[in-house]
Amino acid sequence: MIGIFYFERISRAFSIMAIPAAGTRFAVFLKKKNSKSSDNSSIRAREYLYGLDKSILNSPLTLQLNFLYLCVKRINMAIVKNFIDLDVTKSYTYSDYLLWPFPERVELIKGFIRKMSPAPNRSHQTISQNLNFKILNFFNTHSCSVYVAPFDVRLPIKSAKKDSTIVQPDLCVICDETLLDEQGCNGAPDLIVEILSPNNSNHDLHTKFNLYQEAEVKEYWIVEPQEKVVLVYCLKDGHYFGLKPFVEGQIIESLLFPELKVAVDDVFYKA
């Protein structure tokens, strides 16, 4: 039985493939296929989506054939409800990622699954809130947007398959509004901040450093809670160079946003 959540995920998966209204048409197809379902939420979802778009009857033959092919392909791909059912040795894309309704948070790194750490500890949450408050307050008077995790960012990685790298930075700043859609950010943010934790320090210091550099994220901040240090890396000619570490008693300065200044003491306040 297929509920509203699955319809939303399937619709999004089709939208990623740039097939107009395919999500709705897929729902129409499933409505007929699952007409005997007794699940009320499924029935409501199917009836709702069925009423959104009736142009399928007037679609060009080519689109109908393409749609039918995609329907069959998607029906044959089981929606994975539990993380343990995923084949972690397999390579995936964003359209696969959208069909995973399990509660665990994951990232895709060049197509391969990386399970994220459990809920961040209190110190991590405090630092995230402190940074978000300071940075959001600064950008309230600018055209850029600020987002905190969980927020999907699809990075353009030239050395990997398209739409195969999806990360959830602790905080990101996006100034190009055309990169934003209902699913998150499709492109490289201008600024990304990651807060280290015992389980992800190598990932953020090495793997994500290289990913963000390749994706041409213009500035990358790494926050080290134990040492109370903030590292700032700026992109130049396709490579990151680091500023001097910012420690307690100092002010973090951004080369990308010269007017953005954050006291290190404020970052680690009550953390």
* DSSP assignments along 105-167, one per residue: -EEEETTEEEEPPSS--HHHHHHHHHHHHHHHHHHTTSS-EEEESS--EE---TTS-TT--EE
Determine how β-strand 184-186 pairs with β-strand 153-154: parallel
| 248 contacts: CB under 8 Å, gap ≥ 6 | 228, 264, 265, 268
Domains: count for the chain: 2
| Residue 222 phi, psi dihedral angles, 5° rounding | -115, 120
Same domain, yes or no: 207 and 85? no
Same domain, yes or no: 106 and 131? no
Same domain, yes or no: 80 and 178? no
Helix (H) or strand (E) holding 251: strand 251-253
pLDDT at 210: 94
Same domain, yes or no: 232 and 98? no
Any idea what the CATH number is for the domain that residue 183 is in? 3.90.1570.10
On whether the CB atoms of residues 117 and 204 are closer than 8 A, the answer is no
pLDDT at 229: 97
Same domain, yes or no: 145 and 239? yes
Same domain, yes or no: 194 and 240? yes
Same domain, yes or no: 111 and 136? no
Alpha-helical segments (H) within 182-263? 201-202, 208-215
Distances (CA, A) of 59 to 56, 69, 120, 159, 164: 5, 15, 48, 37, 31
Angle between helices 4-16 and 22-33 (to 10 degrees): 140
pLDDT tens sequence across 221-252 = 999 999 999 999 999 999 999 999 999 999 99
Same domain, yes or no: 50 and 169? no
Distances (CA, A) of 202 to 65, 199, 218: 47, 8, 21
Token digits for 91? 């390579």
Same domain, yes or no: 75 and 185? no
Same domain, yes or no: 85 and 136? no
Residue where a domain terminates, one of 89, 115, 141: 115
- Is residue 77 over pLDDT 80? no
Residue where a domain terminates, one of 58, 82, 115: 115
Token digits for 191? 């600024």
Same domain, yes or no: 158 and 52? no
Same domain, yes or no: 151 and 71? no
> Is the pTM value of this prediction over 0.75?
no
Strand partners, 1: none
Distance, CA of 210 to CA of 222 (rounded, Å): 13
Name the burial class of residue 232, with classes exposed (0-12), middle (13-18) and buried (19+) by CB atoms within 10 angstroms of its CB: buried
pLDDT at 11: 52
- Residue 129 CA neighbour count, 13 Å, CB half: 10
The domain in which residue 64 lies consists of 4-115
pLDDT tens sequence across 19-59 = 444 444 444 444 444 444 444 444 434 333 334 344 554 55
Residue where a domain terminates, one of 70, 91, 115: 115
Mean pLDDT along residues 55-77: 56
